[in-house]
Amino acid sequence: MRVTTIHAAGDIRLEERPQPTIDHPAQAIVKVTASCICGSDLWPYRGENPIDAGSPIGHEAVGVVEEVGADVRHFRPGDFVIVPFVHCDNTCPHCRAGITSACVHQGFTTGGQGEFITVHQADGSLVKTDGMPEAHQIPSLLTLSDVMATGWHAAVAAGVRPGSTAVVVGDGAVGLCGVLAAAELGAERVVAMSRHESRQKLAEKFGATHIVAERGEEGEQRILDLTDGIGADAVLECVGTGASMDTAFKIARPGSTVGFVGVPHGVELPIRRMFSKNVGLAGGMAPVRTYLPDLLDRVLTDRIDPGLVFDLTLPLDEVAEGYRAMDERRAIKVLLRP
Amino acid sequence: MRVTTIHAAGDIRLEERPQPTIDHPAQAIVKVTASCICGSDLWPYRGENPIDAGSPIGHEAVGVVEEVGADVRHFRPGDFVIVPFVHCDNTCPHCRAGITSACVHQGFTTGGQGEFITVHQADGSLVKTDGMPEAHQIPSLLTLSDVMATGWHAAVAAGVRPGSTAVVVGDGAVGLCGVLAAAELGAERVVAMSRHESRQKLAEKFGATHIVAERGEEGEQRILDLTDGIGADAVLECVGTGASMDTAFKIARPGSTVGFVGVPHGVELPIRRMFSKNVGLAGGMAPVRTYLPDLLDRVLTDRIDPGLVFDLTLPLDEVAEGYRAMDERRAIKVLLRP
């Protein structure tokens, strides 16, 4: 089968590899219908994470169950499933507490930008649709494997409440999904910090009531002005860099929480400010499986359309161009069709 | 009047200074009935904070209103009051949101280990008793100015819930008050990490169901063993050092929150672990005024007796010995009588 691999910074290849096989009775093999490129894939692509040369890449996918292990009870070949990027048994104490991303049987999707993937703990990890979804629903269903669930987690972790003012730092696909999540959770004012016109437009479509194009001190001042100097009730930090985290803590009102979901790179938390202002930090790797039933319902009832984050669709053969387009910010997020 | 001053590390003096006067119409002057030495006073005493030589020290006090400014409506000379270490107007947006420690008119008690103190924003900051309290209630009322409210804040920030397992890192007076708070908030298991027998005993009196005397990796393993490998539902970090924070994050279960109240010194937060395990951080400088009505009621109805943290009472003249006793951990907390 064909699968995307990374060999060095900037070196993405589509290669022929053996099709995965069941090697544990709780596993399933899923034939990928659609996958995509994640902002976190850009860290190794840009040489900012170590690379194991030739390793498969990609972790967001939806598809059709091809084969199941002997212990899998709830899925069978032909089922259309959403594959969370982090796999779980959904029965351990951490799963029962809602933190499925810290499952004691945690596993990850690897080689998601390919034709077939192995799902560990299939019964716990997967969620299926009733029958095959319509073609136009595929992009939104695909976002539930990671990006939309991650934006949702940022909003939940930040404690977005009805009537509140939420600010989203970061206009990548996760940030845009965070805007959608904050609006769905009832924020009265949703501020998207974005300086790219196409992203601003999508943020507004997702429910942003205000756009702040400025960054750094100027952007922070804009948020303070918007909130009469009080600061935001909830801040969604959707980037993961030191600068974005710094902004998040500066605009969060005393007693509020910064919800963070971007894999942290070079972040030093401002603990003195956190202490003096009582601004907390919550979030982390999204417990996708926990949110899936609710999010699936919102997508299938056309309440939300997070698939709009895909502004470029490419055949899997052109995956390298997909990385270039995202790296150069020509595309918000790239959908790949095997 | 006499007031305690610090001149250098280890150099505590009782000196004669002018009695404070009202210089703002919202102020009150309080004649101190009892004050005490805080764990945070030991940071400069040990030379770990910069010292402005000769500056007054101490910020925990109860006393009797001596004089009020022209704008003070709710207090008059003769009222017995608890003086929160952080003063507030109790009307600004931060105060209304419960974060009185971030009031836009924030002020602090200075020279609390003395005979008279100035209270800024007296109407917002102070809470009085009906008439003069009984002598045996003074120590517990004194703890409400900081230490008990701070332990309470740790428990609230950590999200202690009925039936949960709470672990308190730190057996100083704040940690012991955290034990009391966790028990009051309904934790089923309250684990005190303490290796000093006198403190263990007080922790048990305050509601600790388990004592863990080990520290570092050994102590962390004990907590994991106690919780079937899951970790604690809530962790109260009541020290503020890198080592204590490190332990707190290692024993907190995924999805839980570390409540921190110790002024951070040399703390680098483990953001990677926070991300992968979804362990949050909340807390900071305690909004004492917010908790005061509830805590005052618990003290006056003899439901709690946090004054037991004082195991040494000295006349103000012997304040230097009080610092030595706390520094050498001969005393848990020292009460001073002017």
Tell whether B97 is within 8 A of chain A (Cβ): yes
Q: Please judge whether A94 and B253 are an interchain contact, meaning their C-beta atoms are less than 8 angstroms apart.
A: yes
Tell whether A224 is within 8 A of chain B (Cβ): no
Tokens 């109860």: give the residue: B62
Nearest to A272 among B253, B254, B264 (CB): B264
With beta carbons under 8 A apart, name residues in chain B contacting A174. none
Report the pLDDT value the prediction gives residue A106, as an integer from 0 to 100.
Answer: 97
Report the pLDDT value the prediction gives residue A133, as an integer from 0 to 100.
Answer: 97
Q: What is the pLDDT of residues B183-202, one digit of tens each?
A: 999 999 999 999 999 999 99
Report the pLDDT value the prediction gives residue A9, as an integer from 0 to 100.
Answer: 97
Q: Please judge whether A254 and B282 are an interchain contact, meaning their C-beta atoms are less than 8 angstroms apart.
A: no
Interface test with B, best of A85, A263, A265, A271 (most B CBs within 10 A): A271
Query: Nearest 5°: phi and psi at B260?
Result: -120, 140
Report the pLDDT value the prediction gives residue A314, as an integer from 0 to 100.
Answer: 98
With beta carbons under 8 A apart, name residues in chain B contacting A264. 271-272, 275
Report the pLDDT value the prediction gives residue A74, as an integer from 0 to 100.
Answer: 98
With beta carbons under 8 A apart, name residues in chain B contacting A277. 99, 102, 284
Give the containing element (helix H, strand E) for B259.
strand B252-260
Please classify residue B297 by burial: count the beta carbons closer than 10 Å to its beta carbon, then call 0-12 exposed, 13-18 middle and 19+ buried. exposed
d(CA B266, CA B239): 11
Structure tokens at A290: 């926990």
Q: Please judge whether B94 and A254 are an interchain contact, meaning their C-beta atoms are less than 8 angstroms apart.
A: yes
Q: How many CB atoms lie within 10 A of CB B139?
A: 21
d(CA B179, CA B192): 7
Q: Which CATH number is B2-146+287-337 given?
A: 3.90.180.10
Report the pLDDT value the prediction gives residue A213, as an integer from 0 to 100.
Answer: 97
Report the pLDDT value the prediction gives residue A99, as an integer from 0 to 100.
Answer: 98
Q: How many CB pairs under 8 A join A and B?
A: 109
**Mean pLDDT (chain A, rounded):** 97
Closest residue in A to B228 (Cα) is A93
Report the pLDDT value the prediction gives residue B83, as an integer from 0 to 100.
Answer: 98
The Cβ-side half-sphere exposure at B81, using a 13 Å CA radius, reads: 30
Nearest to B281 among A228, A230, A280 (CB): A280
Tell whether A279 is within 8 A of chain B (Cβ): yes
| CA A104 to mean position of chain CA atoms | 22
Tell whether B279 is within 8 A of chain A (Cβ): yes
Report the pLDDT value the prediction gives residue B286, as an integer from 0 to 100.
Answer: 98
Q: What is the pLDDT of residues B60-103, one digit of tens each?
A: 999 999 999 999 999 999 999 999 999 999 999 999 999 999 99
Q: What is the pLDDT of residues A22-62, one digit of tens each?
A: 999 999 999 999 999 999 999 999 999 999 999 999 999 99
Q: Decide if A2-146+287-337 and A150-283 have a common fold.
A: no
Tell whether B50 is within 8 A of chain A (Cβ): no
Q: Using alpha carbons only, give the angle A17, A21, A24 rounded to the nearest 5 degrees.
A: 140
Nearest to A276 among B271, B280, B285 (CB): B285
Q: Please judge whether A275 and B257 are an interchain contact, meaning their C-beta atoms are less than 8 angstroms apart.
A: no
d(CA B302, CA A55): 65
Question: Shortest Cα distance from B61 to chain A (angstroms)?
Answer: 21
Residue A332: C-alpha distances to residues A39, A148, A171, A201 (Å): 9, 14, 9, 12
Q: What is the pLDDT of residues A173-210, one digit of tens each?
A: 999 999 999 999 999 999 999 999 999 999 999 999 99
Query: For chain A, what's the residue count?
Result: 338
- The residues that bridge with A250 in the sheet, in sequence order, are none
Q: Please judge whether B257 and A283 are an interchain contact, meaning their C-beta atoms are less than 8 angstroms apart.
A: no
The closest alpha carbon to B36, from B329, B292, B326, belongs to B326
d(CA B214, CA A99): 29
Tell whether B242 is within 8 A of chain A (Cβ): no
Question: Shortest Cα distance from A281 to chain B (angstroms)?
Answer: 5
Residue B121 zone, left/alpha/beta (φ > 0; ψ -120 to 50; rest): left
With beta carbons under 8 A apart, name residues in chain A contacting B284. 274-279
Tell whether B255 is within 8 A of chain A (Cβ): yes
d(CA A77, CA A290): 24
With beta carbons under 8 A apart, name residues in chain A contacting B271. 264, 267, 269
Find all residues with CB under 8 Å of B121, minimum gap 6, and list them: B26, B27, B87, B88, B89, B90, B103, B105, B107
d(CA B225, CA A175): 39
* For residues A296-308, average pLDDT: 97
Report the pLDDT value the prediction gives residue A132, as an integer from 0 to 100.
Answer: 97
Enter the ipTM.
0.96
Residue B193, helix vs strand vs coil: strand
The closest alpha carbon to B215, from B146, B261, B281, B167, belongs to B167
Tokens 């027998």: give the residue: B197
Tell whether A32 is within 8 A of chain B (Cβ): no
Tell whether A213 is within 8 A of chain B (Cβ): no
Structure tokens at A3: 């699968």
Fold of the domain spanning B150-283: Rossmann fold (3.40.50)
The closest alpha carbon to B57, from B116, B111, B119, B1, belongs to B111
Report the pLDDT value the prediction gives residue B180, as an integer from 0 to 100.
Answer: 98
Q: What is the pLDDT of residues B212-237, one digit of tens each?
A: 999 999 999 999 999 999 999 999 99
Tell whether A94 is within 8 A of chain B (Cβ): yes
Report the pLDDT value the prediction gives residue A288, as an integer from 0 to 100.
Answer: 98
Nearest to B264 among A93, A102, A275 (CB): A275
With beta carbons under 8 A apart, name residues in chain B contacting A283. 275, 278, 280
Report the pLDDT value the prediction gives residue B77, as an integer from 0 to 100.
Answer: 98
Domain boundaries, chain A: 2-146+287-337, 150-283
d(CA B149, CA B293): 11
Residue B245: C-alpha distances to residues B48, B151, B281 (Å): 18, 16, 10
Please classify residue B224 by burial: count the beta carbons closer than 10 Å to its beta carbon, then call 0-12 exposed, 13-18 middle and 19+ buried. middle
Under the banding of pLDDT at 50, 70 and 90, the label for residue B160 is very high
B window 295-334, beta carbon within 8 A of A: none
